[in-house]
Chain A
Amino acid sequence: MSASHLKERVRLVWRDMKKYKHAYVLLAPYFIIFLTFTAFPVLMSVALSFTNFNMLQSPEWVGWSNYAKLFVNDDIFLISLKNTLLFAAITGPISYMACFLFAWLVNELPPKIRAIMTLILYAPSISGNTYLIWQLIFSGDSYGFANSFLMNWGFSLEPIQWLQDTKYMLVILMIVQLWLSLGTAFLAFIAGLQNVDPTLYEAGAIDGVRNRWQELWFITLPAMRPQLLFGAVIQIASSFAVAEISMNLVGFPSVDYAANTIVTHLIDYGTIRFEMGYSSAIATVLFAIMLLTNLITQRLLRKVGE
């Protein structure tokens, strides 16, 4: 591009910027806060991932060595990576579809029943320490709900150590995660369904939409694409960032690291060993994985209703 060309472009952009100055005024308060409390810490953390920082001495530049150590020298990270990917691959899509399916079913109900039903489905996300009830269900002795059920019905002879046995841990975590997953995206979908213009359905019926499934695919889903994209980002983030339920249910660290995830690994290095540089590198890797997954998902979602 020649210099005069560039100058011309800058002039045009500048003209537009002046024309839309009210847009920047509306944006300013949010972005000042966003940059201070979100963007800046994120950038700083990415920068720290190339250093050796223990919170006491000033950071020392080490280049890619944190990343090299992660993939070559850290067996537990590789277990965590495998766990997280497996976990996300199963709970991510299922929870996303469940969010939509239940939002859609609830939306068909008359207002009063709908409000009650929404509350009940959303309940696990509201009530703070819901892990308690799962600890009772999967308690390791014969009094735990799951064990007493299996033993009473003769499926097993002795209690199973659900939360200590490496065979079951990850599966139980997945069940609990799915149960907790009707959260943010679920509510956003409900609100989104309310926004779909009812005349579209009438028009659809005239144009030959024959049943509710066609209606769903050709009218409802395309009309709420913005919410679907939003939900995807949220569900992907929550299925990759799982940590708290793991730490609460199966302990931290879990037996043989069988339920270690990328985030618990990160917490280990960040808040126990105070190796901030290394834990920042873990976060950056997780970020890259999520980003890639999101790009793929967003591309798939654009095909909805075609």
Chain B
Amino acid sequence: MKAIFHIRKRINRSWLVDMLLFFLLCGVACFMGLPLVFTISNAFKPIDEIFLFPPRLLVHHPTWNNFFALKDIFADSWVPFSRYVFNTFFIAIIGTVGHVIIASAAAYPLAKIKFPGHKILFHIVVLSLMFTAYVTQVPNYMTITWLGLINTYWAVILPAFGMTLGLYLMKQFMEQIPDSLLEAARIDGASEYRTFWQTVMPIVRPAWLTLIIFSIQGLWTSGAVSHKFIYSEQLKTVDYVFGQVASGGLVRTGPVAAITLLMMIVPITVFIVSQSNIIQTMSTSGLKE
């Protein structure tokens, strides 16, 4: 048991409290993990188990039938399924890469350069976090129409570049970078742009991995948003199509369970990969004074 808690210098830790906290954590984890278990097991349930009442948490006779049924549904769809997959990946990847770079570029001066207006600009950003998105839908639709972005990928991607959350998170992280490190880079003759790109960006890797998780997650399930701005069937996303399948009613319950699992896989994979990266980069972050 003690081996579980071997990390860091184990100063100021008592073994008993470690144990207690660990069990508390395990208990909470069981509770939180329920939907994950339920979604996975549902996808493999044969039709009679899906409709079983009261429902069972775990599958008793796992089957791939739901996935095959899904394949059949897409086999005779008008636009090939691969096209939807491409659209989704395109929006998620371009949106995320652009967001991380653009938000970080803006966060650096806000956090570390005392230029005139830096406080006001940041306050405006924070304020906007507190305004609910439901009412800004109408003005947003108008702006996107004026800009001629209707029915293009950009109607979803461009607003994602300017997500407030990313800038805020990045700025808060960059504030922790010691000024002396930046001074050193400047004394070595680096321009502000190079300081940003070669000194600041590598240090805040844990933060941009967190940003990537949020951004992918948001864009991956952006079906509802894209549905408003994108009308062509060829440009629609997987998320949207899955919604269509789900609206097929009772007969589609099995395939829908399979879909739910498939939709979860990408965000979870991104999450796992980023997580292990966050941990690795820490040892070389150079954040020490």
Contact = CB atoms under 8 A, between A and B. Distances in A.
Interface of A: 13, 16-17, 20, 22-27, 29-31, 33-34, 36-42, 44-45, 48, 55, 102, 105-106, 108-111, 113-115, 117-124, 126-130, 132-133, 136, 143-145, 148, 179, 182, 184, 187-188, 190-192, 194-195, 197-199, 201-202, 205, 209-212, 214-215, 223, 226-227, 229-230, 233-234, 236-237, 241, 243, 263, 266-267, 270-271, 276, 279-280, 282-283, 286-287, 290-291, 294
B131 A209 contact: no
B81 interface: no
Contacts of A270: 134-135, 137-138
B153 interface: no
Given A31-B121, A122-B271, 15 more contacts: A20-B115, A23-B109, A26-B109, A36-B147, A109-B22, A113-B4, A117-B25, A124-B32, A127-B35, A182-B32, A191-B173, A201-B9, A202-B11, A227-B172, A229-B172
Contacts of B249: none
6 contacts: A102-B25, A110-B7, A123-B32, A191-B206, A211-B12, A283-B134
Contact of B106 (A31, A38, A229, A279): A31
Contacts of A230: 168-169, 172
B17 interface: yes
A110 B275 contact: no
Contacts, number: 269
Given A115-B279, A191-B278, A120 B172 contact: no
Nearest to B217: A126
B32 A210 contact: no
B5 A109 contact: yes
Interface residues of B, number: 101
Interface SS, A side: helix
B287 A195 contact: yes
Contacts of A144: 54
A148 B35 CA distance: 20
A31 B210 CA distance: 21
A241 B217 CA distance: 20
A96 B161 CA distance: 27
B128 A38 contact: yes
A283 B275 contact: no
Given A102-B28, A127-B36, A212-B17, A22 B54 contact: no
